[in-house]
Amino acid sequence: MSKVREIDRSDVAKHARHNVDNDDVDRGIKDEEVLRHFRLFKPPGAKFDAMSASDRELIVHGLAPRPNASTHPKLAAKWRRVADRHLEYITPELQVNPSIHRGRVRDLIKKRDISDVEVANFRDLIRSPYTDRITEKNLIDYRLFYPETSTNWSGAYVKRPSAEQLVSVTGEWTVPGVNPPSSAWNGTGYNDGTYLCGVWVGIDGTQGTSDVMQAGTGSQCVVSGGKMVSTTFFVWTEWFSLLSVTVPNYPVGVGDLISCTVCAPFGTTHGTALFNNLTTGSTTSIGIDPPAGVSLAGNVAEWIVEDPGITTTKLYPFPNYGSTHFYDCTAGSKNVELDLGSATTIDLIDSSSKVLSTALIETNRSLFCRYGSP
């Protein structure tokens, strides 16, 4: 374990109980009502080999199904790379986290008004040598490639193929460290509070969809008395509009390389979140059933850095998370595989339209998100 890892993961639970949204209290949501939507799988034995396991064994243990190498070559290669590792399987201990909300602040993505100067600057940026998805012939209107904006999301999304819905999304990223932003400095110290960002992959949540099935990591720092007193890192999953659950017994820390897959391979009312910590070798999986009356639309898949909500209408103060890369960004429907080649990027902005987080597609499978504007 790295020396920079989190001090006390119980801070997540303590903070969660302190910030329960009044809306949820009024609805009388109890932990058991949330937890009944999440399922645990039988952990495999010490000699389990995912590479040679049968499809049935993979299902029993909550592991991602083996992709078809003919129709989904990138997903199949990613699956083999992770499955070939010697992983430690952990039975997750689930804990409801009522301090994180995704409600009316969710789907606020929109096109921005773009000046000619911004277009010229962005034209030079996307011509950079490491960008392989944009060629001279399709630079007719640079505005087509300019990022959309959101008050709580930064990253990228792809739309479903016309004939069928998306059922899987995967990606890898390094868990970012967090600090209070410079704007939180008041002259004698930082403004007290909890600064939080989430990094995740998911299906739906924008483009007209009211559901979202997602999983990822959280990075938070707490300031008290003007000083940063703690940092906490954790994994979580949810199917909106359920509250999220964290896994306090799953080891994760700043700098860890996390592979995360969200999929619904057996229908639109069952899903799985699979975490592989490629730094420590730990893996865990969680089954998810949607809220009552909800099923997966499968319209979009996303790779996102998010400013979560304290309540359904108020966001956490967003920390300076430095930067993080998403690697192996791939999504799939039953017969089609997608990557970032058809993706739309999103910049996170505050109430004054200042950019707090920027997203840039570097290659068809690599997305770079950084704190601040380009």
The per-residue pLDDT for 124 is 57
The per-residue pLDDT for 105 is 42
The per-residue pLDDT for 9 is 35
The per-residue pLDDT for 374 is 65
Cβ(269)–Cβ(296) below 8 Å: yes
Lookup result for tokens 């277009």: 119
CATH superfamily of 10-112+147-371: Peptidase G1 (2.60.120.700)
pLDDT tens for the chain, 374 residues: list them. 222 222 233 443 443 333 333 344 334 468 888 898 999 998 888 788 888 888 888 888 888 888 999 999 999 999 888 888 877 899 999 999 866 665 544 444 454 444 555 555 555 555 555 445 544 444 444 444 567 888 889 999 999 998 899 999 999 999 999 999 999 999 999 999 999 999 999 999 877 777 889 999 999 999 999 999 999 999 999 998 788 899 999 999 999 999 999 999 888 889 999 999 999 999 999 999 988 888 888 999 999 999 987 776 778 889 999 999 999 999 999 999 999 988 999 998 888 888 999 999 999 999 999 998 76
> Pick from 253, 241, 183, 255: which is nearest to 212 by CA?
241
Spatial distance between the Cα atoms of 174 and 255, rounded to a whole number of angstroms? 5
User: What pTM was computed for the model?
Assistant: 0.81
Which residues, 6+ apart, have CB-to-CB distance to 364 below 8 Å? 132, 133, 339, 340, 341
Instruction: Report residue 344 as tokens.
Output: 């739309």
The per-residue pLDDT for 179 is 93
Hey, where are the domains in the chain? 10-112+147-371
